[in-house]
Amino acid sequence: MNDLYLLSSLKLASGISIKNRLFLSSIGLDLATPSGECSGELINFYKKIIDGGVGMLKIGNSTVSPSSRLHERGLALYDLKHAQALKPIFEYAQEKNTLVVVQLQHYGAQGSSKYTGSPLLSPSGQFCQKMKKKFPEDRVIEMSLNDIETVIEEFAHSAWLVQQAGGKAIQIQAANGYLISSFLSPYTNKRVDDYGGNPQKRSLILMQIIKAIQLKTNNDLSIFVRLGIDDCFDNGEGQKPEYLQEVIHDLEQLNIDGIECSMCVGETFNRFFNGYHQEIKDRIFSGASIIKSFTTKIPIGCTGLVSSIADAEELLQKYKIDYIGMSRALFADPRLLPKFYEKSKVNACRFDGFCFQDKSNPKLDQVYCCVNPDYLRDPQVKYE
């Protein structure tokens, strides 16, 4: 049992060693305070994940800007008070030899003006069709060069705040149709200046963010990227893994610590809502394998419909990637790893997508679960 590849350590370029190759992928639970600070509820959730033995966890969706928000109780990270509220997680994780990675987020055109009063930012002024139906009163603007510079500075400032609070690592959210992802994708980036036109130009803002973070933190912060490798359209539109070879090469030159492959944007994310779809799972892991073929330097991870420890091990071996994430399966049961050793029954995720639907349910104040007794959804809440 102890010869599982999943349980082997992983040494990063920054010198950090992760005790195993399993990580909690970012999951937005919307349990922050209304002003964006990490709450006691969130701290307790992450402590349970740490106690479950993962090598790394990613704190999801910490917005870098007061003008970019989606949920009333979403995490924020643009003020020192936001960073200080994360300190209990950093300290507890250090005791347990777990790496905490804070995901830095800008929602872009997949945010909402409801809680900010600000227009939504986009590389080319394109609204996410899903969000347009949900928030038809919102306005999307094409970003100016000044807007781009501001966003770069916001990411660097948020990373610096993590460092000031004792954090060791951040992840740039460059997937799932959010702002940086929308620059990387030809579906949403129609610019004809230095920030558009080919994959390397579309990735310029990402490279500039990484360089700004390295400068601001004196190269003393581990940097990961959650990279959107497939927008998941079936008509040839959008991002594809094969477009990213030169982008991966450029990321190599910046000595980042890892890439987490992800897929889908706002218009296609419903593919994850309705049950467990093997073809979607095969698609994301096959894409990650392509990304892995582009680099011998950057550890490549992936997440998507991973259901169990045995499943994680099989995927690592099959697709020859370096580390693997779970979100919903660990939300359903943070003790997956100890229970694997114990051979005891787990609270198995049903992958019905109801937790995602909770996020947009106006009758609910947070994300719930079908099987985890600590976050059990009221049975009166019904979805189709």
129 vs 103, more confident: 103
Q: Is 363 helix (H, G, I), strand (E, B) or coil?
A: coil
Taking the C-alpha atoms of residue 261 and residue 300, their distance in angstroms, rounded to an integer, is: 7
DSSP 283-348: HHHHHHHHHHHT-SSS-EEEESS--SHHHHHHHHHHHT-SEEEESHHHHH-TTHHHHHHHT-----
Q: Is the pLDDT confidence value at 93 over 90?
A: yes
User: What tens digit of pLDDT does each residue of 250-294 get?
Assistant: 999 999 999 999 999 999 988 777 678 899 999 999 999 999 999
Strands 258-263, 22-24: parallel, antiparallel or unpaired by DSSP? unpaired
* Those residues with Cβ within 8 angstroms of residue 327's Cβ, 6 or more apart along the chain or in another chain: 24, 25, 26, 27, 303
| Pair of tokens at residue 184 | 């990387």
pLDDT tens digits along 202-227: 999 999 999 999 999 999 999 999 99
Q: CA 279 to CA 265: how far, in whole Å?
A: 17
pLDDT (mean) for 78-101:
98
State the Cα–Cα distance between residues 140 and 325, nearest whole angstrom: 33
pLDDT at 377 over 80: yes
Decide if 384 is inside a domain: no
Q: Does residue 236 register a pLDDT over 80?
A: yes
Angle subtended by helix axes 145-164 and 204-216, to nearest 10: 40
Which H or E run includes 141?
strand 140-142
Contact residues for 232 (Cβ-Cβ < 8 A; gap 6+): 238, 263, 264, 265, 268, 271, 280, 283
Summarised one tens digit per residue, pLDDT across range 303-338 is 999 999 999 999 999 999 999 999 999 999 999 999
117-163: pLDDT as tens digits: 999 999 999 988 888 888 889 999 999 999 999 999 999 999 999 99
Is residue 269 within 8 Å of residue 176, measured between CB atoms?
yes
Report pLDDT for 224. Answer: 98
Tell me the C-alpha distance between 94 and 177, whole Å.
Answer: 32
* Number of structural domains in the chain: 1
Q: For residue 261, what is the DSSP state?
A: E
Helix (H, G, I), strand (E, B) or coil at 267: coil
For residue 103, being part of any structural domain is answered with yes
**CA–CA gap between residue 349 and residue 332 (Å, rounded):** 5
Residue-level pLDDT at 199: 98
Calculate what percentage of the chain has a pLDDT beyond 90: 86
What is the rounded distance in angstroms from the CA atom of residue 261 to the CA atom of residue 76?
A: 23
- Give me 99's structure tokens: 């790496």
Judge whether residue 347 has pLDDT over 70: yes
pTM, two decimal places: 0.96
Residue 40 placed within a domain:
yes
Residue 134 lies in a domain: yes
In a domain, 311, yes or no: yes
Segment 27-35 shows an average pLDDT of 91
Any idea what the Cα angle at residue 155 is, between residues 211 and 210, rounded to 5°?
20
Is residue 383, in this structure, part of any structural domain at all? no
CB atoms within 10 A of CB 136: 8
- Report if residue 284 sits inside a domain: yes
pLDDT bucket at 358, cuts 50 / 70 / 90: confident
Q: Which DSSP symbol is given to 32?
A: S
40-44 long-range contacts, CB within 8 A, separation 24+: 42/75, 43/88, 43/89
The residue with tokens 């509220």 is 85
CA distances from 273 to 117, 131, 172, 283, 352 (A): 30, 16, 24, 16, 6
Q: Is the separation of the CB atoms in 71 and 139 below 8 Å?
A: no
pLDDT at 2: 61
Q: Which residues contact 164 (CB under 8 A, 6 or more apart)?
A: 80, 83
What stretch of H or E contains 226?
strand 222-230
Q: What is the mean pLDDT of residues 225-241?
A: 95
Q: Do residues 61 and 173 touch, judged by C-beta distance below 8 A?
A: yes
Domain that holds residue 224: 5-375
Distance CA 301, CA 279 (A): 19
CATH code where residue 326 lies = 3.20.20.70
Q: Considering just the CA atoms, what is the radius of gyration of the chain in Å?
A: 19
The answer to the question of residue 382 being in a domain is no
Q: What is the dihedral of CA 19, 25, 31, 34, to 10 degrees?
A: 110
